[in-house]
């Protein structure tokens, strides 16, 4: 395989080590031996030794949510997710990506998003149109929310309006490249998509990414892959926390008890864990799940939901069990993926809210 020397070292280090098995949301949901970092690395080590074809591991590679729980857990610093990203690229370059991935790539080419959707809900469209004028701040909805979480994206716009912030929402919002990076890693095509987006984003001083996944690529991959973007990227959660701190959002503390469902993109990839707690504690009491902050557990990924919906359902259900075990009253999400998948599996007796919903309620 044409992968980096570092990835080869990771493969040979992780192939017989199970220390991160317990933390893999996919392995926990499926109970499948192949769904853990050691199994994946063992299989890849046999590909490296020509005892297994690359095509034999393709599906297994796409079963990884790239949530970096295993990477965070490894005390000796190995990063199985890096390998997954590189092998995705290798599969793409060899024309060996699974059919369902090809379908999603076709969708991106034709419709601009993996879901193959073209229609945005009218309410979001109308809310966005009010902010078409150029300002210093660009609010990026992202493909996931635009096509799957319309109401929440609209609420986020309403919250920024309530803060009196001047901001722009683009009718033809460019693709951040998150979807491509998730599907084929650091392919030239991914970098091209990112560069086009960065060119647009650079016309603003600040870019606020509603979706933590988009924020992650802007703040991490753009830098790692030399995608020049001059605007300052901020996560929506951190931006809202700033607005509260600056007195632009006058929230009133109530008696409700909130529990954060930390987005792994924010908590692990960007090491941002406190803004959501600052927001929630300004609005009410905060309680924690056992696995919180950088130890957070994935509650769903909508791209993976396209090809393994049963597993995504179980992933979300597992997170609800974590929440119930700690007597959570209101679970608060940062990520549209997690909101949508948790919403679809919500048990009785616990509320589910987004960050913007919480703040709007306590204004």
Count of positions on this chain that bind another protein (CB under 8 A): 39
Examine residue 294 and tell whether it contacts another protein (CB under 8 A).
Answer: no
Examine residue 54 and tell whether it contacts another protein (CB under 8 A).
Answer: no
Stretch of 44-52, 164-172, 214-222, 250-258 contacting another protein, by CB under 8 A: 44-52
Minimum distance, C-beta of residue 151 to another protein, in the bound complex (Å) = 32
By C-beta, is 58 or 208 nearer to another protein? Answer: 58
Applying CB under 8 A, which of residues 2, 5, 25, 43 lies at the interface with another protein? 43
Examine residue 293 and tell whether it contacts another protein (CB under 8 A).
Answer: no
Examine residue 281 and tell whether it contacts another protein (CB under 8 A).
Answer: no
Strand pairing of 232-235 and 257-261?
unpaired
Examine residue 19 and tell whether it contacts another protein (CB under 8 A).
Answer: yes
- Contact call for residues 184 and 105 (beta carbons, < 8 A): yes
Applying CB under 8 A, which of residues 14, 83, 208, 280 lies at the interface with another protein? 14
Examine residue 126 and tell whether it contacts another protein (CB under 8 A).
Answer: no
Q: Quick one: DSSP state of residue 267?
A: I
Examine residue 49 and tell whether it contacts another protein (CB under 8 A).
Answer: yes
Task: Report the C-alpha gap between 23 and 297 in whole angstroms.
Answer: 7
- Give backbone dihedrals phi and psi of 232, rounded to 5 degrees, phi first: -85, 120
Tokens 């034709």 correspond to 110
- Interface characters, 55-94, with another protein (x: CB under 8 A): -xx-xx------------xxxx-x----------------
Phi-psi group of 31: left, alpha or beta (phi > 0 → left; psi -120 to 50 → alpha; rest → beta):
left
Examine residue 45 and tell whether it contacts another protein (CB under 8 A).
Answer: yes
Euclidean distance between the first and final Cα of the chain, in Å? 55
Minimum distance, C-beta of residue 46 to another protein, in the bound complex (Å) = 7
Applying CB under 8 A, which of residues 1, 26, 42, 231 lies at the interface with another protein? 42
Task: Report the C-alpha gap between 357 and 348 in whole angstroms.
Answer: 19
- Contact call for residues 3 and 90 (beta carbons, < 8 A): yes
Examine residue 8 and tell whether it contacts another protein (CB under 8 A).
Answer: no
- Contact call for residues 305 and 312 (beta carbons, < 8 A): yes
Footprint on residues 300-339 left by another protein (CB under 8 A): 325-326
Stretch of 24-32, 103-111, 189-197, 241-249 contacting another protein, by CB under 8 A: 24-32
Examine residue 129 and tell whether it contacts another protein (CB under 8 A).
Answer: no
Residues 6+ apart with CB under 8 A from 81: 64, 66, 67, 68, 70, 71
Minimum distance, C-beta of residue 27 to another protein, in the bound complex (Å) = 8
- Contact call for residues 41 and 83 (beta carbons, < 8 A): yes
Examine residue 350 and tell whether it contacts another protein (CB under 8 A).
Answer: no
Report the DSSP beta bridge partners of residue 168: 138
Minimum distance, C-beta of residue 92 to another protein, in the bound complex (Å) = 19
Determine which helix (DSSP H) or strand (DSSP E) holds 149, and give its type and residue range: none
Minimum distance, C-beta of residue 52 to another protein, in the bound complex (Å) = 7
Q: Which residues of 245-262 are buried (b: 16+ CB within 10 A; e: fewer)?
A: eeeebebeeeebebbbbb
Task: Report the C-alpha gap between 110 and 104 in whole angstroms.
Answer: 10
Summarize as ranges the residues that interact with another protein (CB under 8 A).
13-23, 28, 31-34, 38-39, 42-43, 45-46, 49-52, 56-57, 59-60, 73-76, 78, 290-291, 325-326
């Amino acid at each position: 395989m044409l992968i980096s020397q570092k990835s080869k070292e990771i493969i040979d280090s992780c192939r017989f080590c199970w220390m991160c098995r317990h933390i893999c949301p996919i392995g926990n949901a499926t109970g499948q031996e192949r769904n853990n970092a050691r199994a994946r690395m063992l299989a890849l080590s046999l590909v490296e030794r020509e005892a297994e074809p690359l095509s034999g591991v393709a599906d297994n590679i796409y079963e990884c949510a790239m949530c970096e729980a295993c990477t965070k857990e490894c005390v000796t610093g190995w990063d199985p997710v890096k390998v997954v990203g590189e092998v995705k690229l290798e599969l793409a370059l060899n024309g060996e990506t699974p059919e369902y991935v090809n379908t999603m790539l076709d969708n991106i080419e034709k419709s601009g998003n993996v879901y193959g959707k073209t229609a945005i809900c009218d309410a979001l469209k109308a809310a966005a149109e009010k902010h078409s004028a150029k300002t210093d701040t660009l609010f990026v909805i992202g493909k996931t929310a635009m096509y799957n979480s319309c109401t929440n994206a609209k609420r986020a716009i309403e919250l920024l309006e309530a803060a009196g912030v001047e901001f722009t929402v683009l009718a033809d919002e460019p693709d951040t490249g998150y979807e491509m990076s998730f599907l084929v890693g650091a392919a030239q095509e991914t970098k091209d998509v990112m560069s086009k987006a960065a060119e647009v984003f650079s016309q603003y001083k600040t870019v606020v990414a509603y979706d933590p996944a988009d924020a992650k690529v802007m703040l991490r991959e753009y830098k790692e892959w030399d995608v020049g973007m001059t605007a300052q990227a901020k996560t929506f959660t951190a931006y809202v926390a700033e607005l509260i701190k600056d007195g632009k959002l006058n929230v009133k503390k109530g008696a409700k008890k909130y529990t954060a469902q930390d987005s792994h993109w924010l908590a692990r990839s960007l090491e941002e864990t406190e803004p959501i707690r600052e927001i929630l504690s300004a609005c009410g009491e905060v309680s924690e799940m056992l696995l919180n902050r950088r130890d957070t557990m994935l509650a769903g990924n909508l791209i993976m939901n396209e090809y393994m919906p049963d597993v995504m359902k179980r992933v979300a259900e597992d997170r609800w069990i974590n929440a119930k075990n700690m007597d959570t009253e209101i679970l608060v999400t940062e990520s549209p993926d997690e909101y949508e998948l948790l919403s679809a599996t919500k048990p009785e007796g616990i509320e589910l809210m987004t960050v913007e919903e919480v703040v709007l309620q306590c204004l």
